Amino acid sequence: MRPPPSQHRSPRLRTTREGKWYLGITVGVGLAAINTGNNLLYLLLGMLLLLIIISGVLSDISLRDYQETMQRPFFSLSKKKRLKPIEYLSPDKSVTVHVSANPAYGMATIWDADIMIYLASHLNELRERGDNDLSPTIRVQPGDLLKRICWGVSGRAYERLIAALDRLQATTIKTNIRANSKSRETTFSWIDSYTHLVDERTQRSLGMEITLSKWFFDGVMDKRNVLAISPLYFEITSGLGKWLYRAARKHAGGNGPEGFTIGFETLHQKSGSESSLPSFKNKILELARANNLPDISLEVIGAETPRPKLKMVMRRHLEKPSGKTEDSGSVATESRPQRIQRATPEKAAKVSPPQEFVDPALVRKLLATTSASLRPEQQADASAALDSNASQSQSRRRGGGAQDTLDPEIYQAIRAECPGWDLDVLMRQFDSFLNSNPHELPRNYSKRFYGFMKKHHERNKHTLPGF
């Protein structure tokens, strides 16, 4: 009898020793607030509970990818139906990969691989929890899967999921990866089958059961074969960009500041792209100029030579920039990869997430409710500090251009993460928004503008050349 399918259920939160102390303090503050009626204690209790909620929301499934499929051509890079087989032979002639498509469905695409990443991540999560009786058959809720891979939850997204599962089941792969003395090659499909589960009485959907191929399942079960990837991977829209991120994560992940350098011809062969080599080079150059892949920094070595190379480095290994800043709003400065200045890990750590608005009226009200516990001179000092903070916030948002107004670290982070925008123009739009809400003042203008720019870039980057 085969083991039961691996259920996709919500992660079970485990309380650490520090977590137990935190919960104890939270309960103590709650009891004190109830017994004393002190508004400050109620405020503190609310903050403690909010942190608990946030920690639960953010503790989502950690993404893992199967590294043996990350650097070689296993998927079509185009959304168009591909029937032409992929034939790959490594430069040292030790690894072979043959991928053939079913005429009715076409070859599985790099977007279909999102599903395999989700399933690999789910299996890895169950193994990390200590579940030893794992099965290649995994039960999932389609809505949870679609939301996690950023496909949406509409009827069209569900149809897209079914089409992707058909391609994953119909695509045939033959490879000698993980061959042993008993077999030279293994032939398989990504999934052996998938089944819709329906309640016989109510006819309501109970989710899906997806059975992985033995080759893929055995590979994922070896924790040495999985690599952590960024959740932002699912937001990469280009097929070549998705493949390049996976290849770069595999090659450059453990190489430190030196990264990994590879020739365009070899890269073209490893991708399995149907594009010609010149067209492939142009697409890679565009990705390098944009340099917006999550976690990965791209640099073209010898761009003007007949044989350029692509250098891939994890951003956390980048050195400190020289301190020179780019001209505000200049797109041309982003056109040459060697001129792009990126925020260093040290500086990135200093740039905390943008904080919410603070309503001075609310703070004054809170101050008034607790004034009985303060001496007159303490009340005066608190009121003066509040007035000073408000005036400073107002003055910071009304002077000079972006480079002169923003903190240098945040300015550099915005230029690195949101390239191509005229920051002075967008800052005026941001100020107009703030001026229309005078009762709300940002606690830190630079950090709030940083959050505004990240959202603006994510929503509108498709309008920029090269994106």
Q: Which two tokens stand for residue 242?
A: 């998705």
Radius of gyration of the chain (CA): 27
CA 144 remoteness from chain centre = 17
Mean pLDDT computed over 71-87: 94
Is the distance from CB of 149 to CB of 155 less than 8 angstroms? no
CB atoms within 10 A of CB 142: 18
- Looking at the DSSP bridge assignments, the partners of residue 262 are 310
d(CA 258, CA 342): 16
Q: Is 327 among the domain residues?
A: no
Q: Is 110 left (phi over 0), alpha (psi -120 to 50) or beta?
A: alpha
Least confident segment among 38-47, 94-103, 141-150, 186-195: 38-47
Does 346 have pLDDT greater than 70? no
Exposure string over 258-292, b if 16+ CB within 10 A, otherwise e: ebbebebeebbbbbbbeeeeeebbebbbebbbbbb
**Domain check: are 168 and 278 in the same one?**
no
- Cα(464)–Cα(332) distance, rounded to whole angstroms? 12
Q: Look at residue 326 and tell me whether its pLDDT is greater than 90.
A: no
Rounded to an integer, the average pLDDT of 28-38 is: 83
pLDDT of 384 > 50? The answer is: yes
Angle between helices 445-460 and 376-396 (to 10 degrees): 40
Within a domain: 329:
no
| 106/255: higher pLDDT | 106
Q: Which two tokens stand for residue 177?
A: 């990866």
Residue 117 has pLDDT above 70, yes or no: yes
212, 276: one domain:
no
The mean pLDDT of the chain is 77
Q: Which of 99-102's residues contact partners 24+ apart within 8 Å by CB, and which partners? A: 99/73, 99/74, 99/75, 99/171, 99/172, 99/173, 99/174, 99/272, 100/171, 100/172, 100/174, 101/76, 101/170, 101/171, 102/167, 102/170, 102/171, 102/172
At 55 the pLDDT is 53
Q: Is the pLDDT of residue 71 over 90?
A: no
Amino acid residing at 439: H
Compute the average pLDDT of residues 395-401: 50
Whether 163 is covered by a domain: the verdict is yes
Which pLDDT value is given to residue 328? Answer: 33
| Range 58-63 average pLDDT | 58
- CA distances, 453 to each of 40, 311, 385, 424 (Å): 34, 28, 29, 12
**What confidence category does residue 360 fall into, taking pLDDT thresholds of 50, 70 and 90?**
very low
Model confidence at 464, pLDDT cuts 50, 70, 90, reads confident
d(CA 133, CA 20): 30
pLDDT digits (tens, 9 = 90+) for 143-198: 999 999 999 988 899 999 999 999 999 999 999 998 776 668 899 999 999 999 98
Same-domain status, 250 and 214: no
Residues 55 and 165 in one domain: no
Look at 364 and 343; give whichever has higher pLDDT.
364
Q: Which of 406, 428, 407, 410 is nearest to 418 (CA)?
A: 410
Domain containing residue 239: CATH number: 1.10.10
112-121, 237-246, 274-283, 297-306: lowest mean pLDDT where?
297-306
In a domain, 15, yes or no: no
Structural domain of 135: 61-222
Residue 54: per-residue pLDDT: 52
Is residue 110 classed exposed, middle or buried when 0-12, 13-18 and 19+ CB atoms within 10 A define those classes? buried
Higher pLDDT, 179 or 456: 456
Same domain, 270 and 216: no
Per-residue pLDDT at 114: 96
Q: Which of 140, 153, 74 lies closest to 107, judged by CA?
A: 74
Higher confidence at residue 342 or residue 47? 47
Mark which of 198, 222, 246 sits at the end of a domain. 222
Residue 11 belongs to some domain of the structure: no
Tokens (6 digits) for 370: 């607790």
Q: Could you tell me the pTM of the whole model?
A: 0.59
The percent of residues in the chain predicted with pLDDT above 90, rounded, is: 36
Looking at the 3D structure of the chain, how many domains does it have? 4
Are 40 and 164 contained in the same domain?
no
Is 359 found in the same domain as 446? yes
The residue-averaged pLDDT of 251-259 equals: 83
260 and 160 in one domain? Answer: no
Neighbouring C-beta atoms of residue 304, cutoff 10 Å: 6
What is the per-residue pLDDT for 466? 55
Confidence of residue 115 (pLDDT cuts 50, 70, 90): very high
Residues 290 and 300 in one domain: yes
Q: Which of 175, 207, 222 is the last residue of a domain?
A: 222
- Of 171, 203, 222, the residue at which a domain comes to its end is 222
Whether pLDDT at 53 is above 80: no
Query: Are 77 and 201 in the same domain?
Result: yes
User: According to the per-residue pLDDT averaged within each range, which of 33-47, 237-251, 302-316 is highest?
Assistant: 237-251
Judge if 206 and 303 occupy the same domain: no
Residue 439's pLDDT is what?
55
13 in a structural domain: no
- 194 occurs within a structural domain: yes
Domain shared by 110 and 193, yes or no: yes
Does 310 map to a domain?
A: yes
